[in-house]
Amino acid sequence: MKAFTTLVVASLAAAANAWIFTACGQQFDGGDNNRGCTAKSCPAGSTIDYQVGLFSSCTLRVFSDGSCQNQVGISSNDWDNHVLGQSIGSFSVQDC
């Protein structure tokens, strides 16, 4: 029952926010808003998580550099516990 309750709470949190991005121990959320270029370094092998709320069209873009110039990943769907194949230096969320 506890696992079910945790799943329901997590689902409601994702539904309440248009997106939630967790990277290297830090969580970012944006309601239903875009987020411009944000520096966030994570080494290769780290786990990131991206949750998109219901009816949201927000797109996560991750970049290898700290100024959002060299895109290395993109997702408009959930990335559950995604292991990075290479390091990232920044991210942005667009098209919300």
Chain centroid to CA 74: 10
Q: What is the pLDDT along the chain (96 residues), one digit of tens a residue?
A: 554 444 444 455 545 569 999 999 999 998 889 999 999 999 999 999 999 988 888 999 999 999 999 999 999 999 999 999 999 999 999 998
**What is the predicted pLDDT for the residue at 6?**
41
Contact 18, 35 (CB under 8 A): no
Domain residue ranges in the chain: 2-94
The per-residue pLDDT for 17 is: 65
CA dihedral of residues 60, 52, 48, 12 (deg, nearest 10): 160
CB 67 within 8 A of CB 37: yes
Could you tell me the pTM of the whole model? 0.80
